[in-house]
Amino acid sequence: MHVLLVSSSGGVLLDLLALRPWWEARRTRWIAVPGPDTREALADADVTWRPDVPGFRPLALARATVDARRSLARDRPQVIISAGTGLAVAWFVAARSLRIPCLWVETLNMIGAPGRAARVCARLADRVLVQRPELLASRRRAVLVGELY
């Protein structure tokens, strides 16, 4: 199985790294936002560095989505997994257009209403992996995975 992980820095990266027991036996590639922690943690990984897409600037999101679609059409991962940032929105939109399944990881620190990127990606995802049982009722297609770290 070929897995594509889409990440920014911080807690998003930590959530995806915590899933290593699941993805390490598979062929993986990363789309990551460059930062000190991502560069260090992914030093030995197959990574394509991309700038984050802050907020919902339509032109930046459109450009990132076109770039993502080209990459996905060429590489065809079997699943995409992410836990956040505007960059994930572009990749999930592109994946949806190519019928590539997506998994969204709801970060542990998510207590209240999710942000815009989280709402969009959760809607586009085939499954939403939640770390808190109380989120099962409010997240469509949610699966409880428990605390990742």
Three-state DSSP class for residue 2: strand
147 has pLDDT over 90 = no
The per-residue pLDDT of the chain, averaged, comes to 91
More confident: 27 or 58: 27
CATH architecture under which domain 2-144 falls: 3-Layer(aba) Sandwich (3.40)
110 has pLDDT over 70 = no
* pLDDT score of 112: 65
Question: Left if phi > 0, otherwise alpha if psi is -120 to 50, otherwise beta: which for 65?
Answer: alpha
Site of tokens 């897409």: 53
- Residue 46, both tokens: 């197959």
30, amino acid identity: W
Rounded Cα distance between 93 and 22, Å, is 24
* pLDDT score of 111: 64
95 has pLDDT over 90 = yes
Name residues whose C-beta falls within 8 Å of residue 54's C-beta, 6 or more positions apart in sequence. Answer: 60, 86
75 has pLDDT over 80 = yes
> How much is the pTM?
0.92
Q: What's the whole-number mean pLDDT along residues 93-121?
A: 87
Task: With beta carbons less than 8 A apart as the criterion, state whether 15 and 82 touch.
Answer: no
114 has pLDDT over 80 = no
